[in-house]
A and B are shown apart, each in its own frame.
Chain A
Amino acid sequence: MKRIRLWAPALLLMSPSLLALALFVYGFIGWNLRVSVTSWRGLLPKYDFVGLRNYAALMSDARFMQFDVPHIAIFTLVFVGGTLALGFCMALLLDKKLAGDALFRSVYLFPMSLSLIVTGIIWRWLLDNGNDASTTGLNKLLESAGLESLRSDWFRSDSAWAIAAIALPAGWSLSGYVMSLFLAGLRSVPEELREAARVDGANETRVFWHVIRPMLVPVLMSAIVILAHISLKTFDLFYAMDAKNIKIDTPALYMWFTTFDGGFYARGAAIATLLLLGVALVIVPYIAYTVREERRR
């Protein structure tokens, strides 16, 4: 009886969100899975069973396999790597406690306050690749600075890595957030520890490597997970930059267009399931890691 009294109020308090979660998250994941094994196309829902046919078709779908999957892999790699590096450097600089660091902290965070649609529209112009008189944006800046040789076609480039250019706006938007994560991590390292190391004769590099770095690992892990799953899901940024340009096509965009333009609901659901698997690939090891860490404590 006493034990029930302990956990019953907690359960009751949580029940609304548990219910909502069960219905709107897990319920819909289940529904989506169900749709992905049907042959539903068109307006009328059709709940037959065709096995893994939609998945098999995607495996031989040129747009999905030769463009979307490599694209999202490249984008995730460049975006996560670049944003982490940039965010970490900014955090290191701000940690030096120079004058006006509060101002810089906000300035670096500001881009995140813009929706990705706005970011996309701004950067579509910044990454314009017009020639001669119609040059604008970054190319124009490079030209004015006498760096024409650095001119790029950005995401319009012929290279298979063209989509990496979109990591610029994405990183611009999120590096401030990563910076604040790292800054919180850096500031949580007790000053006594650093001083103790210095007293023992460690130089700044060694203080960083042996004292600060190990304490930043949890921050790094969460930053990677947050960025990686954002990267896999991102839709609005690509949509705003150049909606149907195959050079920056990703599974999320293909899912939207095939479902709502063509009515291929089953195929869209199959892509959604694969995306979910992709996100799970990143998140499940992280959850396992944190659970293990917490048990250790």
Chain B
Amino acid sequence: MTRCSRPLLQCRIAALLSLALVAIACSKTSPPVEKEAAPAAAPAAAPAVEPKATQVEVFSWWTGPGEQEGLDAMIADFKTKNSGVEVINAAVSGGSGTNAKAILANRLQAGTPPDSYQRHAGLELADDIKAKKLEDLTSLYESKGWKTKLPKGLLDAITIDGKIYSVPVNIHRANLLWFLPKTLQSLGIGAPPATWKEFLTQAAAITKKHKTPLAIGPGWTQKHLLETVLLGELGAEQYTTLWKQPNEWQSPKVAAALDTFKKVLAFTDIKSSAPDWQPASDRVLDGAAVYFVMGDWLDAYWGRAKKLKFKTDYDVVETPGSSGVYDFLSDSFTLPVGAKHREAALKWLDECGSVTGQDLFNPQKGSVPARTDADASKYQGYLATALAAWQNPKTVIVGSLTHGVVANNAVGSEIDSALSLFVASGDAATFAKAVAKAYTVD
């Protein structure tokens, strides 16, 4: 009997283990909704048990300094307007949403989207729209009258096949050239370059004085530079058609612009480039490099984190050849199909599109509001000049390549590949061909 008991025991353990596995496999269907019932985060003033109590899950990648405060301010304002609605802040860290996007893709595929999620406005939304993951918000725009509050250039860029699918909260500008006035002075440079040709002349002189003419960072900053060179060399109109008519890539003017890009790149510190945009900009601050092409999130870094003074310590101009053009990118919020709390999500979008919401968020984040009727007195320093340019009806608005406005994810990532080969080999013709081909993949 004793002999037999050990295998018997093993049998039982094994059976138990198998059962446990089956149980685990079967139990995954129960959703974790228990939290919803618990009024843990409900404000003290709210009625103790409200039958209509609901929540809204807002998914973003705003976890950095500035942007997090801005999001919190917007959430607080939302709560005062909609008492009883709990906001779940499902933010995933990682600049430009690099981590958030992979997680979001999984949730969208699994059919469990957040109630509203952040995307760059423009063609970065194309995949979601094609997969029918997003609701058309055109009627919301009409009922709120937003179409008259946003500039036409922005509306054009975010309208996809006649419909609008997201609410832009903020506007960043990409075509900016940053520098320190004292560095220019010490080099005897009167003014920053107005054309890329002028830049190349200045750069040759700067190199002789053992400084780097233009700081650069990782791959996406190179793409960012490419976009500003294309914009400066082609002009706003041809730049915009470039993304609509891939054949344009084969034109001689584009070839010339790519050649300029190659020459500009040769004047950067690409061989020992910094790992990210902040350390790259540090090279300008410590005087090793003279210029830096970056979006206006740099203002928050230099102005707030480094405590420098705009105009006296650092200054900015439009990138060469892009005066009067606003190369924008925008963070926007969406309404996914199948959002669990659709009503609350619509209220959240209302908050995103409202003057109060945008004026609470943007001064913190260091961007300007998408609406042109925002309160200008809330924006100081660089932001005041940016807002003036944004609200000026004469400003020409174009969309950013690097930040998801004019290229969908497929084209964007194919350009990433092609650009890194171009930077390594210097073969512009192959690059132009690869980009034109990228449009045919989808």
Interface residues, chain A, with chain B CB atoms under 8 Å away? 5, 8-10, 12-16, 19-20, 41-45, 62-63, 67, 124, 128-131, 133-134, 153, 156, 242-247, 249, 254, 257-258, 260-264
Contacts and interface: CB of A to CB of B under 8 A. Distances in A.
Contacts of B430: 62
A264 B412 CA distance: 12
A63 B275 contact: no
Contact of B413 (A15, A19, A262): A262
A46 to B, nearest CB: 10
A257 B131 CA distance: 20
A264 B408 CA distance: 12
Rank and list the top 10 A-B pairs by shortest CB-CB distance, nearest first: A262-B413, A12-B14, A244-B219, A43-B131, A246-B420, A261-B413, A13-B14, A44-B131, A9-B10, A129-B272
Contact of B421 (A20, A63, A260, A263): A63
Given A19-B21, A20-B21, 20 more contacts: A12-B11, A12-B15, A12-B18, A15-B18, A42-B131, A43-B105, A43-B131, A44-B131, A62-B421, A62-B430, A129-B272, A153-B272, A156-B271, A156-B272, A244-B220, A245-B218, A246-B423, A246-B424, A247-B424, A260-B102
A121 B412 CA distance: 27
Interface of B: 7, 10-11, 13-15, 17-18, 20-21, 101-102, 105, 108-109, 127-128, 130-133, 218-220, 271-272, 275, 288, 409-410, 412-414, 416-417, 420-421, 423-424, 430, 441-442
Nearest to B283: A134
A14 B14 CA distance: 8
Nearest to A19: B21
B442 A131 contact: no
A257 B18 contact: no
Contact of B17 (A13, A133, A249, A263): A13
Contacts of A262: 409-410, 412-414
29 contacts: A5-B7, A8-B11, A15-B14, A16-B20, A16-B21, A20-B21, A41-B410, A42-B442, A43-B108, A43-B109, A43-B127, A63-B421, A130-B272, A134-B288, A153-B271, A242-B218, A242-B275, A244-B219, A244-B416, A245-B420, A249-B420, A254-B417, A261-B101, A261-B409, A261-B416, A262-B409, A262-B412, A263-B105, A263-B413
Contacts of B21: 16, 19-20
Interface of B: prevailing SS: helix
A194 B288 CA distance: 63
A128 B272 contact: yes
Contacts of A261: 101, 409, 412-413, 416
B272 A42 contact: no
A206 B305 CA distance: 66
Contacts of B20: 16
A132 to B, nearest CB: 8
B220 A41 contact: no
A293 B20 CA distance: 38
Given A45-B109, A245-B219, A264-B413, A129 B18 contact: no
A128 B130 CA distance: 44
Contacts of A20: 21
Contacts of B410: 41-42, 262-264
Q: Which of A129, A247, A260 has the most CB of B within 10 A?
A: A260
Nearest to A133: B288
A271 B430 CA distance: 23
Given A16-B17, A16-B21, A41-B442, A244 B10 contact: no
Contacts of A243: 218-219
Nearest to B101: A260
A16 B19 CA distance: 9
A9 B14 contact: yes
A262 B409 CA distance: 5
Contacts of B442: 41-42
Contacts of A257: 413, 416
A9 B10 CA distance: 6
A10 B10 CA distance: 8
A243 B430 CA distance: 23
Contacts of B417: 63, 254, 258
Nearest to B218: A244
B130 A260 contact: no
Nearest to B10: A9
B133 A43 contact: yes
B283 to A, nearest CB: 8
Contacts of B15: 12
Given A63-B421, A246-B421, A262-B414, A124 B275 contact: yes
A129 B10 contact: no
